[in-house]
Amino acid sequence: MQFLLYISRFMIPFLILYIVGYGLLAKVPVYDSFVRGAKEGLETVVRLVPTLIGLMVATGVLRASGFLDFVGSLIGSFLGGDLFPAPLVPLTILRMFSSSAATGLLLDLFKEHGPDSRIGMIASLMMCCTETIFYTMSVYFMTAQIKKTRHTLLGALIASFAGIAVSVALAGMM
């Protein structure tokens, strides 16, 4: 174990030294390439910030207004508490938009129901088996300047609902 810790301390500096050394051997202007890449990275961040702020504000408003709880109680009563517990509906909706907001909601569920409860198990598995669909699509498509997403949203929703179904099934086995 100590050997792995020793190697891990030197892995990043070695990787940086290797990249710089390879660039120098290939006669690439390493510093200029680094500065150009950093500039492009900052331009990407500037293009993404409005989208990220919009998503964060929207999830904050949905959560603070009580809308998620309202929708959760409606959908939860429709599904019945045995198949899919009503407290998980807001987490399911919020997870599609924001991972950090969903994590906050997950912690609230843990405090209320406990991490080892059925709700806690399903929620934990759900966080691992689903993706922040709208965040990911907005960031990647905006960065790549893609206007037509074609079947991406439908595929992502199908994959997320499959992940939710598997989470419920796996939590039932535990």
| pLDDT reported for residue 139 | 81
Write down the pTM of the prediction.
0.67
Q: C-alpha dihedral over 65, 105, 155, 70, to 10 degrees? A: -40
Cβ atoms within 10 Å of 97's Cβ, excluding its own? 18
For residue 141, the model assigns a pLDDT of 85
Residue 116 structure tokens:
């080892």
Q: How many separate helices (H) and strands (E) can be counted in the chain?
A: 8, 0
The per-residue b/e assignment along 110-139, b for 16 or more CB within 10 angstroms, e otherwise, is beebeeeeebbbbbbbbbebbebbbbebbb
Which residues of the chain fall below pLDDT 50? none
Give the span between the Cα atoms of 152 and 137, in whole angstroms.
8
> How far is C-alpha 31 from the geometric centre of its chain's CA atoms?
33
CB 44, CB 143: distance < 8 Å: yes
Residue 78 CA to residue 72 CA, distance in Å, equals 10
**Which helix (DSSP H) or strand (DSSP E) does residue 55 occupy?**
helix 30-65
Measure the CA–CA gap between 49 and 169, rounded to whole angstroms: 38
Quote the pLDDT of residue 6: 84
Tokens at 162, concatenated: 């499959």
Judging by beta carbons within 10 Å of its beta carbon (0-12, 13-18, 19+), is residue 104 exposed, middle or buried?
middle
User: What integer pLDDT is reported at residue 80 of this predicted model?
Assistant: 65
Write the single-letter amino acid at 101: A
- The single residue listed with the structure tokens 């051997």 is 25
